[in-house]
């Protein structure tokens, strides 16, 4: 319902801009206030018509200022030329305004004041007020338009960067997964067909479903379990694997491949450790507003890579900063022979 209302509002805004309905509305409201403020006619309708006639001359100077003087002099920083031309324009329109005022004002006492210097000064100020007010509205409208365009541009840049980051993950994940399968084929393992099926399911998720923006956290968890099973089949008893998943996890949407990439990294970087000491532990806990993902793996500090996590962890840090600003906390640490990544996301 809200989406439909926003769509209709956007369409009306485009229609209004095309036919300058906002300009017409402004001058109608302005004429109403103008006629109510001065009340120089016998009826409200006559006053409104008289005000509309007078303000049409105000509009002439205002639009001349907006569409000629401002671009020609003000934006080019020719301030003296701008002030001189604007003042000359206001003074020039005061005489036609005085003639119109003399014709439309029915009160004889007011008519006698039309050609006085005080009344001409009042006309000058009223035209200046119209000019300033239209400038303020024009610049405010332009500022809003620029902000909207900037926001749309930032959104496009965000989506482009996210697509680039995801494009980095997919080949990286595919390469490591094929290495796992290759290790089993070298052993001529009977488990290879099972691994192929699980791997095909994961790759379908990585290559297709993860490109849809957000995915269900339960679906991400399912593929994490599939990946863990592949690693168990490949590694056998060479690594101790523990997975604890809170059954209170809510089915919320998350960025795809965030958790799966961390799991992949944990297995990859635990390979440098002697089999007897090798382990990977995964904990996923439900929070009141989100979840916590904690993963630990055995690690040999002497073989620490220049970039722990390679593409994966650095990629995730960037994606989190883009998609969950102020709503996430990611910490990684090394304690003795244990590497830990602790991620919390609040919805």
pLDDT tens per residue across span 99-136: 877 776 666 666 667 677 787 888 889 899 999 999 99
* CA 67 vs CA 62, 131, 323: distances in Å: 9, 12, 41
What is the per-residue pLDDT for 268?
A: 80
What is the per-residue pLDDT for 194?
A: 75
pLDDT higher at 2 or 197: 197
Highest mean predicted confidence (pLDDT) among 10-24, 183-197, 206-220, 330-344: 330-344
Q: SS in 3 state form for the chain?
A: CHHHHHHHHHHHHHHHHHHCHHHHHHHHHHHHHHHHHHCCCCCHHHHHHHHHHHHHHHHHHHHHHHHHHHHHHHCCCCHHHHHHHHHHHHHHHHHHHHHHHHHHCCCHHHHCCCCCHHHHHHHHHHHHHHHHHHHHHHHHHHHHHHHHHHHHHHHHHHHHHHHHHHHHHHHHHHHHHHHHHHHHHHCCCCCHHHHHHHHHHHHHHHHCHHHHCCEEHHHHHHHHHHHHHHHHHHHHHHCEEEEEECCCCCCCEECCCHHHHHHHHHHHHCCCCCHHHCEEEEEEEEECCEEEEEEEEECCHHHCCCCCCHHHHHHHHHHHHHHCCCCEEEEEEEECCEEEEEEEEEC
User: What pTM does this model have?
Assistant: 0.52
d(CA 72, CA 39) in angstroms, rounded, equals 38
pLDDT higher at 44 or 246: 246
User: At 187, phi and psi to the nearest 5?
Assistant: -80, -5
Q: How far apart are the first and last CA of the chain?
A: 23
Place 307 in a pLDDT band, splitting at 50, 70 and 90: very low
Summarised one tens digit per residue, pLDDT across range 50-85 is 777 788 888 889 999 999 999 999 888 899 999 999
Return the minimum-mean-pLDDT range out of 166-175, 287-296, 319-328.
166-175
Summarised one tens digit per residue, pLDDT across range 205-233 is 777 776 666 888 998 899 899 888 888 87
What is the per-residue pLDDT for 12?
A: 47
What is the per-residue pLDDT for 286?
A: 92
What is the per-residue pLDDT for 223?
A: 86
Does 341 have pLDDT greater than 70? yes
Domains of the chain: 2-115 (no CATH), 159-346 (3.30.565.10)
What is the per-residue pLDDT for 345?
A: 92
Radius of gyration of the chain (CA): 35
Structure tokens at 17: 């801009």
Summarised one tens digit per residue, pLDDT across range 132-182 is 999 998 898 888 888 877 776 566 555 655 555 555 555 656 666 677 677
User: At 100, phi and psi to the nearest 5?
Assistant: -65, -45
Summarised one tens digit per residue, pLDDT across range 239-276 is 889 999 998 888 888 888 788 888 888 888 777 666 66
Does 47 have pLDDT greater than 70? no
Q: Which of 275, 273, 274, 291 is nearest to 283 (CA)?
A: 291
């Amino acid at each position: 319902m809200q989406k439909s209302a926003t769509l209709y509002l956007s369409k009306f805004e485009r229609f209004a801009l095309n036919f300058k309905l906002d300009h017409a509305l402004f001058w109608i409201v302005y004429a109403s206030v103008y006629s109510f403020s001065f009340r120089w006619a016998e009826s409200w309708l006559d006053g409104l018509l008289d005000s509309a006639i007078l303000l049409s001359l105000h509009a002439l100077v205002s639009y001349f200022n907006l569409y000629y003087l401002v671009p020609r002099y003000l934006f080019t920083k020719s301030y003296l030329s701008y002030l001189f031309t604007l003042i000359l324009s206001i003074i020039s329109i005061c005489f036609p305004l005085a003639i119109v005022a003399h014709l439309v004002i029915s009160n004889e006492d007011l008519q006698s004041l039309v050609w006085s210097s005080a009344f001409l000064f009042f006309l000058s100020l009223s035209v200046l007020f119209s000019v300033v007010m239209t400038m303020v509205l024009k610049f405010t409208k332009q500022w809003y338009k620029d902000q909207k365009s900037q926001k749309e541009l930032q959104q496009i840049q965000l989506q482009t960067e996210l697509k680039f980051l995801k494009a980095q993950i997919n080949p990286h994940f595919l390469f490591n997964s094929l290495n796992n399968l290759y290790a089993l084929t070298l052993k001529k393992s009977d488990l290879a067909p099972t691994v192929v099926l699980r791997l095909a399911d994961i790759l379908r998720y990585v290559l297709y479903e993860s490109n849809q923006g957000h995915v269900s956290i339960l679906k991400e968890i399912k593929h994490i379990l599939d990946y863990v099973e592949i690693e168990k089949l490949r590694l056998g008893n060479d690594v101790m694997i523990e997975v604890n998943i809170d059954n209170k996890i809510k089915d919320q949407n998350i960025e795809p491949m965030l958790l799966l990439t961390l799991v992949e990294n944990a297995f990859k970087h635990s390979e440098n450790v002697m089999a007897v000491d090798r382990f990977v532990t995964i904990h996923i806990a439900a929070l009141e507003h989100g979840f916590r993902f904690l993963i630990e793996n055995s690690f040999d500090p002497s073989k620490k890579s220049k970039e722990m996590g390679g593409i994966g962890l650095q990629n995730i840090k960037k994606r989190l900063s883009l998609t969950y600003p102020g709503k996430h906390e990611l910490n990684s640490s090394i304690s003795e022979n244990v590497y830990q990544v602790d991620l919390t996301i609040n919805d």
